Structure 1
């Protein structure tokens, strides 16, 4: 017989489907929390990406040096004369000082600077060239005795005498021959009067607003000018090589008169290279002068004028004007020096990058200029555009310093500390 029969209940369990599993209600809050976190992360990511889409602002450069600055120190005080007028100028730098106002004064034989200037601009001479020949007329020679009787400054001339343009200019500029000034004037313009008109036209063109010429020699006291105007003319005249050659001579040899000497006893001393004396009772002692000084390895031409120095006669008047000029030149030489305006490494500009980044732009070398305390110097920085990434010590632009109208002094500029663009994380943090 078989074994025991299976239970009816077990049979029924095999026949009926299993009941569904019971859900765990405790998992629902966790699922909702995870979904919320996911949404927050997605939203935060969108928020973080937003500033990365915007371009970075370009760095800015702000100059820390002024557009100009005065050479530090006390401005020089020059030993001006007690009377008359005076002015000192340095070619390329400007006027060092002036005295006596701007009232036109008689200038005596200083007038001959304009006479020679007009002749040489109308009839230029190359270095050492004698130029065209002039012939002294019978009338010009016949006037010599009367001119001598008046006590004029002259060179002896004879009818039919042949003299070159250079020799005639030597007679005018060295022994200050009035008669040769008139002979040159008539040779150039046909008459003395026509030449005087030309002198005044040139003065107007040069900006000599307080000057009026009535004769080519300066004997007429109605020929008047100022120290300022004569400095203007002297600077232009000294730019003519032949003029500069002649006024630097202590003597020369010309026909008939023979050896003639330069009245300007300062020539060849203390750097003096010219230019012209003058003296009459009305004008007193006058001198327009030029000197060359070496400062910091650079040659500077000093041009000045002293007018109206008192004295009983020509020797006394000229002694007085020579003494004043020597003092002015000594003080000028003492005032001129090399001055440092910007030190090596000194900051020239500030660089401001995006999100607080920054650097500087500095002078690679010191900036030195020749001048005197108080002289104003123009500063100009040429700085190319700056990117958001710059290396330390990289060459970047230049600084130019210009005193007067002289040659500019240029130095290289270099970056200071390195500057990097902000990282992505820095941009996100700054945006938040």
Structure 2
């Protein structure tokens, strides 16, 4: 019997052998476990990457203020009377003698000149408007002279420019011209005195009261501190600063007159005004210009109430008390580096322990004296996640006392990089 090669068997298929069944089951179980494990691992790895990274944090390591190192200057204050000493644009070097208002004699004429120049401003060298001496003002001259007042000779009809009148008031300290100017400006001496007191109040001179434009009346009182306030304002007026620095001037009728302030031109002194009476003693408000680090600074001070039997003695003593003050102040002012290039001002801490520093790029040098407080202001923008090494980032500003601020740029130390994906996963585990 013969069979065809294409014949099919249509009966039931026999099952595989038992060994093959067990192998297939193990394979299915292993595959399922691996799938579950891989899914879990993927979830574990992805979860920390979904969380946002915290922003870098900055910690300031430089204090907000410091002081210029060294021993503070010892000021040779006068043994009698009041005194105050300041450096314009830097601050006060102190005061002595209390703060009770005292007579100030012809120092009052600083306010007289200040009011005139604010009401009738003059440029340097400008003569200004003219004023004519009246018959009554000229007739008063002999009586004023008999009282021993400080005067310039005048005659009826004499014409003074505003500048010449101010020169008469500020150099030879002419009481009569102070009254003539007051009446010319305000219509009467009394109305002008009101202006003087209003101006004092506006300037914050709380312990000052004027009763006359010349200072002859002992009821005109002030303090050394208040007179420094006024002197600083007056020296901002170009014509005032120009006049008080003159040693002589030529006036109508009087001819050449001398400046009573014999310190002008010594120790850098450029003014301002003397005063002396029996009640006030010797008084001087002064200004001196010094150059430190290529910058011009003005020392302003006042010495009141120096004793003496007469004007020459009183002025000699106030001059002798003033010169050590000016010299000490000039010597005390210097350049001081309060931050050095490379000094660390802040640290930066990034996520997962990354970090860097913020450092000054240049020295910060201020003008001042030992013991003077210095502000250190840090301007630091928000720190990004990535910041290269040596990158500019922020500024640091220093200012000593009331002085001008100096600034340096800041830069990073090491580079700051955000953590890698692997670091984030590993840190999470």
Q: TM-score range by the shorter chain?
A: over 0.9
Equivalence for 1:325: 322
The offset of 1:17, in angstroms, is 7.6
State the alpha-carbon separation in 2 of the partners of residues 247 and 15 from structure 1.
135
The offset of 1:314, in angstroms, is 1.0
State the alpha-carbon separation in 1 of the partners of residues 312 and 26 from structure 2.
120
Deviation string 1:262-317 (CA, Å, 9 cap, x unpaired) is 11111111111100011111111110000111111111111000001111111111
Runs of 5+ unmatched residues, structure 2: 2-8
Where do 1:15-164 residues align within 5 Å? 19-24=14-19, 25=22, 28-29=25-26, 31-164=28-161
The offset of 1:131, in angstroms, is 0.4
Equivalence for 2:337: 340
State the alpha-carbon separation in 2 of the partners of residues 324 and 36 from structure 1.
100
The offset of 1:26, in angstroms, is 5.5
Equivalence for 1:259: 256
The offset of 1:19, in angstroms, is 4.6
Tell me: CA distance 1:16–1:77, structure 2 relative to 1, closer, same or farther (3 Å). Answer: same
Match of 1:397 among 373, 394, 400: 394
Where do 1:261-300 residues align within 5 Å? 261-300=258-297
Deviation string 1:234-263 (CA, Å, 9 cap, x unpaired) is 000000000000000010101000001111
The offset of 1:68, in angstroms, is 2.1
State the alpha-carbon separation in 2 of the partners of residues 195 and 240 from structure 1.
20
State the alpha-carbon separation in 1 of the partners of residues 93 and 244 from structure 2.
23
> TM-score w.r.t. structure 2 length?
0.95
* 2:71–2:370 contact (8 Å) kept in structure 1: yes
State the alpha-carbon separation in 2 of the partners of residues 48 and 15 from structure 1.
54
SS in 2 for 1:37: helix
Tell me: CA distance 1:15–1:58, structure 2 relative to 1, closer, same or farther (3 Å). Answer: closer
Match of 2:181 among 176, 184, 199: 184
Tell me: CA distance 1:21–1:254, structure 2 relative to 1, closer, same or farther (3 Å). Answer: same
State the alpha-carbon separation in 1 of the partners of residues 273 and 202 from structure 2.
22
Structure number with greater Rg is: 1
The offset of 1:34, in angstroms, is 4.3
State the alpha-carbon separation in 2 of the partners of residues 15 and 67 from structure 1.
98
> TM-score w.r.t. structure 1 length?
0.94
SS in 2 for 1:143: helix
Where do 1:230-245 residues align within 5 Å? 230-245=227-242
Tell me: CA distance 1:35–1:16, structure 2 relative to 1, closer, same or farther (3 Å). Answer: closer
State the alpha-carbon separation in 2 of the partners of residues 262 and 194 from structure 1.
28
Equivalence for 1:362: 359
State the alpha-carbon separation in 2 of the partners of residues 196 and 245 from structure 1.
25
State the alpha-carbon separation in 2 of the partners of residues 122 and 299 from structure 1.
29
Runs of 5+ unmatched residues, structure 1: 6-13
Match of 2:169 among 167, 172, 183: 172
State the alpha-carbon separation in 2 of the partners of residues 17 and 136 from structure 1.
148
Tell me: CA distance 1:71–1:31, structure 2 relative to 1, closer, same or farther (3 Å). Answer: same
